[in-house]
Structure 1
Amino acid sequence: MPVTAASLERAALDSAVREIAAEMADRPDRGTVASYIPELAEVDPGRFALVVIDADGHVAAGGDSEAPFSIQSISKVFTLTLALGMAGDRLWAKVGREPSGSPFNSIVQLENEKGIPRNPFINAGAIAVTDLILARRQPREALGEILRFLQFLSDDTSIVIDAAVAASEQRTGFRNAALANYMRSFGVLENPVDFTLGVYFHHCAIAMSCRQLAQAGRFLAHLGANPATGMRVVSPERARRINAIMLTCGHYDGSGEFAYRVGLPGKSGVGGGILAVAPGKASVAVWSPGLDAAGNSHLGRIALEKLTRRMGWSIFGT
């Protein structure tokens, strides 16, 4: 087989993923698993996975790449995509597009901003987005639509909701209930709070592997279309705008640090996963359950920083 620039880059990617995964497996500084959701507190902090799917569909995988984990707030990327498809720019009357600079479950900004969440990736904003998807549907129907969308994007019908994690969130989600009721008092939420929260808790409890997650995110890396099929998910403009919100808001009050160090749009979840997008290049998923102080995967961010440096993928230049 002749050596081409593409084959050399693929070999470099395989090597980078393999070596980064091995390095992360041996690191002692693993962060702290989320303890406020009891089911997540039981996850082994020693797990690590990294998967990259390039524009040609080549999969570079390292670590526990097939192990399912709770995607948590990463689901907010996909609920935002669905809600924009349903409501278009009318969505922005319910939620803003600015970084929060506050913890993901803070109620302080809601008090100052008349119940309008700062962006769709903090908890309040994602609850508002969920409420829009729920409009004129039963909770089971709305949740089914979200789950089917992820199954479609990943081309994998085996993706399911982790019922134990969902139940654990419902038992302990008092702050989310406070956020939802506060927004309901301003008319931002239009459905019964229990219905909206039920759908929210369940879509955050969807379980996926890094391979499935990287596959689901491919449309964002390629101007809104899956490069394997050419099937369009969103317009190029909408894909760019979702990526922009991921870059500025995808890691809560750690978003600036992530942009500074990694230089890619990304969305984290307290299950320890991160979905990152290298526009025109690849979709990336990483999982390491231990979190930093802002609630983002500690080793996940370090691994992505190493990957973007080695591959020259930062959107800000090499």
Structure 2
Amino acid sequence: MADIGAIVREIAEEMAAAPDRGRVADYIAPLAAIDPGKFGIAVIEADGTCHAAGDADEPFSIQSICKVFTLTMALGKVGDALWQRVGREPSGSAFNSIVQLETEAGIPRNPFINAGAIVVSDVLLGGLEPREVLGEFLRFMRSLTGDDTIVMDEIVARAEQATGFRNAALANYMKAFGNLTNPVDRVLGVYIHQCAVAMSCRQLALAGRFLMARGRNPATGGGVVSPGRARRINALMMTCGHYDGSGEFAFRVGLPGKSGVGGGILAVAPGRASICAWAPGLNERGNSQLGSVALERLAQRTGWSVFDPVGG
């Protein structure tokens, strides 16, 4: 039996000494100011045991990791009707690419690229006010973690609104195809504020437990989603969670995962653990450089890859 705590501590030490730390997301000013020397990791096992090391309790901007949870909420609201407006295939393109929308009639390839997540925000908005949707999202995240201190970072949100021209282009393009029902500025406001939530590795690992536990929140015993829906969300994380680097992440790590340009990666070892690693420097695909390396080493040393027939 692997000593998970020792493995987590070893990986944190290795990442602290790593020379190639990637590049922080400099197009969002508050993220550009984050120290690239930061690294945190938290692993919560199925029995609730938490192993944390490094900067695991320092909040950071979750960015696109929020898309796992907004997708969960949208499926709860409209069910499989969502898939009429968003696809389920890997994009093979950058997270903010507009190219496929033209050839595919304004239907985003999957819910984890920006265009797809913007449609998900439109679904959540429905007939509600933006503040109501954002309140629902915060309540969902707080309920998953049992932590009422989770908040949205308004400084990050304002910075994204000031520079989010590509997202505005994506939204307007989909609006032209009839795939957004609400005003573009309201949809973008919801999307940007969801991305601007600040959470730590420990909090994100807590939030991801239902995907490790067949849709159930282990802390409360209550169902978050059905086992079948949890399996499908995990499948989308595996195939689409790292944009055009998803295949490489599956090849190296072998776990469902979702990255964000804040440097976080949420990963799921079904039946075994919910994991979050954070290192703000990104690789050329916009995914955490050291977070990816750390998760690869964790999967190797525990045998948790879903492609490992034995396991740890």
- Shorter-chain TM-score tier: over 0.9
The 5-angstrom pairing of residues 222-233 of structure 1 reads: 222-233=213-224
For residue 100 of structure 1, what is the aligned residue in structure 2?
91
Separation (CA, whole Å) in 2 of partners of 1:16 and 1:254: 25
Give the CA deviation at 1:212.
Answer: 0.3
The 5-angstrom pairing of residues 188-227 of structure 1 reads: 188-227=179-218
- Once the two structures are superposed, residues 195-240 of structure 1 have per-residue CA deviations (whole angstroms, 9 ceiling, x without a partner) of 0000100000000000000000000001000223211100000000
Structure 2 unaligned residues grouped into runs of 5+? none
Identity of aligned residues (%): 68
Amino acid at match of 1:209: S
Please point out which of 114, 139, 143 is paired with 1:152: 143
For residue 161 of structure 1, what is the aligned residue in structure 2?
152
Amino acid at match of 1:213: L
For residue 126 of structure 2, what is the aligned residue in structure 1?
135
1:272 equivalenced with 2:268 (yes/no): no
Separation (CA, whole Å) in 2 of partners of 1:145 and 1:279: 27
Amino acid at match of 1:269: G
Amino acid at match of 2:20: D
- Once the two structures are superposed, residues 160-202 of structure 1 have per-residue CA deviations (whole angstroms, 9 ceiling, x without a partner) of 0000000000000000000000000111000000000001000
Separation (CA, whole Å) in 1 of partners of 2:225 and 2:306: 21
For residue 66 of structure 1, what is the aligned residue in structure 2?
57
- Once the two structures are superposed, residues 2-22 of structure 1 have per-residue CA deviations (whole angstroms, 9 ceiling, x without a partner) of xxxxxx54xx10000000001
SS of 2:225's equivalent in the other structure is coil
Amino acid at match of 1:266: G
SS of 1:62's equivalent in the other structure is strand
- Once the two structures are superposed, residues 137-164 of structure 1 have per-residue CA deviations (whole angstroms, 9 ceiling, x without a partner) of 0000011111110111011010000000
1:116 equivalenced with 2:107 (yes/no): yes
Separation (CA, whole Å) in 2 of partners of 1:227 and 1:148: 18
Aligned residues: 309
For residue 4 of structure 2, what is the aligned residue in structure 1?
13
Please point out which of 32, 40, 50 is paired with 2:41: 50
The 5-angstrom pairing of residues 252-263 of structure 1 reads: 252-263=243-254
TM-score where L is the length of structure 1? 0.96
For residue 169 of structure 2, what is the aligned residue in structure 1?
178
For residue 3 of structure 1, what is the aligned residue in structure 2?
none
Q: Does the 8 Å contact 1:56/1:228 carry over to 2?
A: no
For residue 301 of structure 1, what is the aligned residue in structure 2?
292
Separation (CA, whole Å) in 2 of partners of 1:298 and 1:242: 24
The root-mean-square deviation of aligned C-alpha atoms, in Å, is 0.7
Amino acid at match of 2:186: F
- Once the two structures are superposed, residues 6-56 of structure 1 have per-residue CA deviations (whole angstroms, 9 ceiling, x without a partner) of xx54xx100000000011011110000001111111111000000000011
- Once the two structures are superposed, residues 119-152 of structure 1 have per-residue CA deviations (whole angstroms, 9 ceiling, x without a partner) of 0000000000000000000000011111110111
Structure 1 runs of 4+ off > 4 angstroms?
Answer: none
Amino acid at match of 1:196: V
Amino acid at match of 2:158: A
TM-score where L is the length of structure 2? 0.98
Separation (CA, whole Å) in 1 of partners of 2:140 and 2:217: 14
After superposing the two structures, state which structure 1 stretch, 120-129 or 228-237, moved more. Answer: 228-237
For residue 90 of structure 1, what is the aligned residue in structure 2?
81
Amino acid at match of 2:48: G
For residue 248 of structure 1, what is the aligned residue in structure 2?
239
Amino acid at match of 1:237: G
Separation (CA, whole Å) in 2 of partners of 1:166 and 1:148: 18
SS of 1:30's equivalent in the other structure is coil
Q: Does the 8 Å contact 1:71/1:206 carry over to 2?
A: yes
Q: Does the 8 Å contact 1:124/1:179 carry over to 2?
A: yes
